Amino acid sequence: MGKTLFVPEKGKNVFEVEFEIKRPKKRYNIKPLKINGEACKNLGKVNKPDKPKIYVLIRGKRIIYIGGTGDNLRERLDPSLNHEQYPYEWRDLREHLMLVVFVVPDEYLNPVKKGRYAKGIGAIEAELVYMVRRSGRWPDYQTEIHFHSTQEVTRRSARAMAQYLIKEGLAENITVDNYV
């Protein structure tokens, strides 16, 4: 086994962001309303540009999109909200949404070159999407997924994230039953 289990802790490495999408004039943008239950005006402490992140978009109690990035969260989301050819399909939703952000320490990723997180984050992202699929169907707005070979530490990290979402009552369409 080797590494200890990634333990999601709200406020330390997990941030629950309630937000809505605004389209003033020409550009879509995310307007954060609360982070971990407290009112906020920006993504501030969630951004952590030097840390890899998994983000889970939730509408009601349904996971509708899962993504990952090693970048500043706003810099990752804004261009995709505003891309003319391939924008996020969920950008036109008008209700409040929840974005659960897991900040993942390097040791819980598949080994990759220093400073590059794509395969490690992509592997965790794919495992989470797979757990949603096992509950009945793909996330509603997941238009593509890249699968990567995983190691036990990656699968255990994904499982810990899924268990957090279930335990906190944030998502109902994900299962860890019989997941290796």
| pLDDT confidence of residue 100 | 93
Q: With pLDDT > 70 as the criterion, what percentage of the chain qualifies?
A: 87
Count of beta carbons in the 10 Å neighbourhood of residue 89? 13
Q: Which has the higher per-residue pLDDT, 23 or 140? A: 140
* pLDDT score of 1 more than 50: no
| pLDDT confidence of residue 118 | 57
* pLDDT score of 86 more than 50: yes
| pLDDT confidence of residue 27 | 76
pTM: 0.86
Label residue 144 by pLDDT band (50, 70, 90): confident
| pLDDT confidence of residue 113 | 47
Q: Which has the higher per-residue pLDDT, 149 or 39? A: 39
Residues whose CB falls within 8 Å of the CB of residue 158, separated by 6 or more in sequence, listed in order:
124, 127, 128, 131
Output the average pLDDT for the chain.
82
Q: Which has the higher per-residue pLDDT, 147 or 60? A: 60
For the segment 71-95, the average pLDDT, to the nearest whole number, is: 78
Q: With pLDDT > 90 as the criterion, what percentage of the chain qualifies?
A: 31
CA-angle at 15, arms to 9 and 16, nearest 5°? 115
Q: For domain 14-167, give the CATH superfamily.
A: GIY-YIG endonuclease (3.40.1440.10)
Say which residue the tokens 């261009």 belong to. 79
For the segment 105-119, the average pLDDT, to the nearest whole number, is: 58
* pLDDT score of 135 more than 80: yes
Long-range contacts of 60-64 (CB under 8 A, 24+ apart): 61/169, 61/170, 61/171, 61/172, 61/173, 62/139, 62/140, 62/171, 62/172, 62/173, 63/132, 63/139, 63/165, 63/171, 63/173, 63/174, 64/90, 64/139, 64/140, 64/141, 64/142
